[in-house]
Amino acid sequence: MTFLRTLGLAAAVTATFAAGATAQAKDIVIGMMCDRTGPTAVTGTVLCPGYHDYIALVNSKGGIMGNTVIADEVDIEYKVPPAVEAYQRYKAKGAVLVSPFGTPMVAALVKTMQEDKIPATSAGFGTAAAANGEKYPYMFPIAASYWSQTAAAVQFAKDTFDGDLKGKRIAYVFYDNPAGREGIPVMEELAKQEGYELRTFGIPAPGIEAGAQVLDITRRFRADFVIAHVFGRAPAVLLKELKRAGYPIDKVIGLVWAVSEGDIAAAGGWDVAEGYNTIQFAGVGSDYPVLQEIRDMYKAQGKEPPSEMAYTVYYNRGVFQAAMHVKAIEDAIKAKGSADITGTDVRDAMRNINDFTLDGLVPPLQMSAKDHEGGGYIRVFQVQGGKFVPVTDWYRAYRDTVLRLLEEEHKG
Amino acid sequence: MFHRECGYYKTSYEADQAVLPLPIAKLAILGFALLFLVFVPLFASDYYLSNLSLVGITVVGALGLNILLGYTGQISIGHAAFMSVGAYTAANLAVKLGLPFYITLPLGGTMAALIGILVGIPSLRVKGLYLAIATLAAQFIIEWIINHTPAISGGVAAAIEVERPILFGWHLDSATELYYFVIFFAVLAIIATINLVRSRVGRALIAIRDQDIAAEIIGINVFRYKLYAFAISSFFAGVTGVLYTYYLGIATYEQFQIVVSIDFLAMCIIGGLGSVIGSILGAFFITLLPMVIRIVMENFGPLFMDPNDLPTIIGQLRLMFFGGLIMMFLILEPEGLNRLWLNIRNYFRVWPFSY
Amino acid sequence: MHPELEFAIALVAEGVLTGLMYSLIAVGFVLIYKSTDAINFAQGEFVMIAAIVVAGSLDWFGLPLWLSVLIGFAFMIAFGMGLERFVLRPMIGMPIVAIIMATIGLAFFLRGFGPLVFGSAPTTINLPIPDSPIFWGPLYLKPIALVGAGISIAFLAAFGWFFLKSRTGVAMRAVADSHQVSMAMGINVERFFAIAWITAGIVALLGGLVWGNMIGVDIQLALIGLKVFPVVILGGLDSIIGVVVGGIIVGVVEALTSGFIDPIVGGGMKDFAPYVLMVIMLMIRPYGIFGRRLIERI
């Protein structure tokens, strides 16, 4: 089977035919785009092994109801043309689910996927608008959108100040690209509701220097709280500068791409990040039964667990995505009664995932035909003594405001 | 282009300039036309068609950059930005005014050409390194402006969705239809370039490349022709952007970042500077290289390394191959794949009676 | 003092120090141009690979800092020599565009090579430098930036003397001026090429140590190379004093833009402003503030 998995397109097509003939046990292909090189390599090199390990775990337990899952990975280097090529490869292989990586790639493929009726997930990126299942019936953000995350971050700040943000100064630090600016409307809207004073600080590409912004935050604006929505190298730089300036790190919260073990290492180690609050859409840390199963699987094969498992933020997100995919496919097979599922079957199953938590690794998502975001749940983990410790339960905040803004966005 | 001759029998300038000097060349063209216009769409799967469509789009851009880099000797590290100018112009016209592609496509190209002229103006004073840096700056500045101007970028997402091209009420949305759509413009670009470089303008550009001060002395208005080169080249780039937009159904500036500019430079260098066939070969080569590396590594990689590490290694090897090939071609074969092709052809020219 | 003024002073100080650290990266670029007439678009990748080697020795083999730095030195010397021998020497006499492209190719090669050999996980280089800032009146000074700026100035002074006074330096300038004439005059062009690239490698190592400590070590460290262009264009490509001035201009412009223009436009103008300044400079005085005007002959 490994040989088949690694063969090129032609062999896979043949394999599909062969499997069609036997009809019973079938190879189920998931298209897995990944960034192992390029600007987002830091994420991809950890997230993708997590994804593959979960799929390997499922297969080692006999696959999904006897059907082997093939996660076909293509490294797209955060470029659009390779993503198009990869997508066509998946389509030719008969993939029932695709996982593109990166906002521009999702944007470039969303139309084609809708035409081909192949569902896709985009956990943690893509516009907030994609959560609308009526407008994008085959696009599943599955994780909290940037808008939901921003709202949750404001809620967290509010709780920090005992439920009152009136007159407080909040700095919203964003990476200056479309994805980074996305949270601003929510911040402005909530500033009206909660009465805090908002100032935005852009960190433009390449985001390797933030000395002046931090001076401004700490010495001119004197922010009471910092919400950071930054990517790439900017999280490490920002964290280190804030720490150096003596800013209390426990008054900083980062959205989903603003922290990982790698960023903390780049910033100079766990001491620098002590107290940092981070929003997560998948559980962080090593204490999940599913991770133990993966370690056991490696042990059974006589191998050491991969070094990527130490980077739990992205690794667990890989596991989370894989688990969601497997769950949707499993439900689709159950609903259909055979492994002959189509993209639309998987889509329908995905829309019905409810309270699938994987012992805390996955938020209590409530997917529906309208809400492909699953409710927008996040959980805040704080850096304490060299690891991430959950300081809240899964929660969401200002749901009405976020939904109202979504409505307006669709009208406008 | 694809002809075989056994000697040099040209007696007039017309014969020397003919695009198809021998009857066999016509046959060769016919053969290629049959292959790409009939057999490929008939027999190739969607996967290969979509890859060929991507190659077709890049051919347009590579030809455009080669006019600037290969024929005029002016470097541009900002070509991807011109593509985004074309893409956003077309997308805005298509969405806001509902114009069809046969109007938005030339307008997108024209807009890119205008911006290209603007960027080309420093080329009067600076060249070589300075021009490289000026165009690099243009790349960042254009990106920044699109990124920060909602009127151009269409809102926070900086992405505009566009309907697939419609020709006389016929929606071109299947892989085959889009393939024909792209190939039509790729062929148009090839013919235009072949004719451009044998015209007065083309000869002036080549003179500037070879020795710009000497060209000025023999009466060529260097500044004007450099601007022509920038305009034509950016027009091609703009059209490339428009084609991407229609092909993908969306315009997004993140798709046209600096690495894309460098991809196109690599196409020109690996394909062959100052050569039409070279641009085409380069476009094929650079677009298909990652796929070939991946397929080879997927098949043979597990033989000598841990399959778990393989995906990461594939990516890193690809970067090393890409960079290494650029350096290798520059050092060993500065005229690129085109020269390799000519070497092969020259060998067979008098075959089997080579001396 | 007025708080806004006080803040502006702090920003300028921040900008000057950061700018001098940009100069540290840019000096390698100028060094190569001044002594070989080649353009190195892979300067950021030089810094990256040097830092990756040092961090790799620190993390993987658990070596002490001084030994890791020594390994880094050895690697960069070997790297500079190999690069000159196998890439740059065959390209002597080729047009500048070809050399630009070759170094772009080199940049991609290094971005694949570094992670392939040393892994792609980000890490850092911890230097024995205190981290808490020094407050001095309105000023806010980062120790690492002071060290970086100090190294930068020391290096630049040394190079200034080297190119102006030493025999080798003068020979290098001659080589840069014309490869052919230098050869005819009996200068061993290849040897000076090798010296230039090795020195650039060593400067990149120092830049890698300082910036690796500032922002962490992985392939994204190479992005620092983007800061080089405004610095060298503003200061003048072949001027050592120009690198200092260019770096300071870029640093101060960035800091002030961030402090006073960003709040108005509501976006990040900071890293973009030096590029705009650079384009204006290219239009009015392409050879920079201190650059040498070129006279072209057929």
How does pLDDT run across B157-216, given as a tens digit for each residue? 677 888 888 777 777 777 788 888 899 999 999 999 999 988 899 999 999 988 888 888
Cβ-Cβ contacts under 8 Å between A and B: the total is 118
Of A200, A219, A265, the CB nearest to C10: A219
Q: How close does chain C come to A76, measured CA to CA in Å?
A: 15
Start-end of H helices in A23-102: 41-60, 80-93
Cα–Cα distance measured from residue B337 to residue B268, given in angstroms and rounded to the nearest whole number: 10
Q: How close does chain A come to C176, measured CA to CA in Å?
A: 32
Which of B53, B248, B262, B284 is most worth mutating to test chain A (most A CB atoms within 10 A of its CB)?
B248
Say what the pLDDT of residue C15 is: 92
Say what the pLDDT of residue A16 is: 42
| 3-state SS assignment for residue B319 | helix
**Low-confidence spans in chain A with pLDDT less than 70:** 1-24, 412
Cα–Cα distance measured from residue C77 to residue B158, given in angstroms and rounded to the nearest whole number: 45
Are C214 and A240 inside 8 Å of each other by CB? yes
Q: Is any Cβ of chain A less than 8 angstroms from the Cβ of C132?
A: yes
- Neighbours of C (≥3 Cβ pairs closer than 8 A)? A, B
Tell me the CB-side half-sphere exposure of residue A276, using CA atoms within 13 A.
31
Q: Is any Cβ of chain C less than 8 angstroms from the Cβ of A263?
A: yes
The residues in C 55-84 lying below 8 A from B, measured between CB atoms, are: none
Higher pLDDT, B89 or C89: B89
What DSSP state is assigned to residue A354? B
Q: What is the per-residue pLDDT across C57-72, written as a single tens digit (0 to 9) for each? A: 888 778 888 899 999 9
Q: What is the per-residue pLDDT across B286-329, written as a single tens digit (0 to 9) for each? A: 888 888 888 888 787 777 777 777 777 888 888 898 899 889 88
| 3-state SS assignment for residue B160 | strand
Say what the pLDDT of residue A13 is: 41
Higher pLDDT, B333 or B355: B333
Partners of residue C4 in chain A, C-beta under 8 Å: 220
Residue (of B266, B280, B113) closest to B193 by Cα position: B280
Q: Average the pLDDT over B15-24 and give the result.
A: 70
Contact predicate A225/A251, CB 8 Å: yes
Alpha carbon separation from A180 to A184, B30, B257, C170, C223 (Å, rounded): 8, 52, 17, 50, 19
Contacts of C119 (CB under 8 A, 6+ apart): C56
Q: Average the pLDDT over C274-297 and give the result.
A: 79
The residues in B 126-145 lying below 8 A from A, measured between CB atoms, are: 144
Contacts of B256 (CB under 8 A, 6+ apart): B80, B81, B83, B84, B87, B143, B241
Say what the pLDDT of residue C19 is: 93
What DSSP state is assigned to residue A256? T
Cα–Cα distance measured from residue A363 to residue A250, given in angstroms and rounded to the nearest whole number: 24
Are B316 and C112 inside 8 Å of each other by CB? yes
Say what the pLDDT of residue B355 is: 55
Contacts of A129 (CB under 8 A, 6+ apart): A135, A136, A406, A409, A410, B157
Tell me the CB-side half-sphere exposure of residue A173, using CA atoms within 13 A.
33
Percent of chain B scoring above 90 in pLDDT: 23
What number is the ipTM of this complex?
0.89
**What is the phi/psi pair of residue A111, to 5°?**
-70, -50
- Neighbours of A (≥3 Cβ pairs closer than 8 A)? B, C
Q: Is any Cβ of chain A less than 8 angstroms from the Cβ of C123?
A: yes
Of A42, A202, A237, the CB nearest to C267: A202
One-letter identity of residue C288: G
Cα–Cα distance measured from residue C45 to residue C67, given in angstroms and rounded to the nearest whole number: 22
B140-144, C47-51, C74-78: segment of lowest average pLDDT: B140-144
Are A85 and B308 inside 8 Å of each other by CB? no
Q: How close does chain B come to A16, measured CA to CA in Å?
A: 15
Say what the pLDDT of residue A18 is: 43
What's the token pair of residue C285?
């005085």
Which residues sit opposite A28 in a β-bridge? A69
Partners of residue B331 in chain C, C-beta under 8 Å: 87, 90-91, 102
Contacts of A133 (CB under 8 A, 6+ apart): A351, A368, A369, A370, A371, A372
Q: Average the pLDDT over B219-225 and give the result.
A: 88
What's the token pair of residue B230?
């920038």
Strands, E, within chain C: which ranges? 134-136, 139-141
Say what the pLDDT of residue A7 is: 39
Start-end of H helices in chain C: 3-36, 43-60, 65-83, 96-118, 143-165, 167-177, 179-184, 189-215, 228-235, 240-256, 262-265, 273-284
Reduce the secondary structure of B75-127 to three states and give it as a string: CCCCHHHHHHHHHHHHHHHHHHCCCCHHHHHHHHHHHHHHHHHHHHHHHHCCC
Cα–Cα distance measured from residue A133 to residue A154, given in angstroms and rounded to the nearest whole number: 26
What's the token pair of residue B261?
């500019």
A173-177, C165-169, C282-286: segment of lowest average pLDDT: C282-286
C-alpha C18: how far from chain center: 12
Look over chain B and give the mean of its residue pLDDT values, rounded to a whole number.
84
CA angle A2, A312, B320 (to 5 degrees): 55
Which of B294, B296, B306, B322 is most worth mutating to test chain A (most A CB atoms within 10 A of its CB)?
B294
Chain C residue with CA closest to B318: the answer is: C112
Q: What is the per-residue pLDDT across C198-249, written as a single tens digit (0 to 9) for each? A: 999 999 999 999 999 888 888 888 989 888 889 988 888 878 888 999 999 9
Say what the pLDDT of residue A55 is: 94
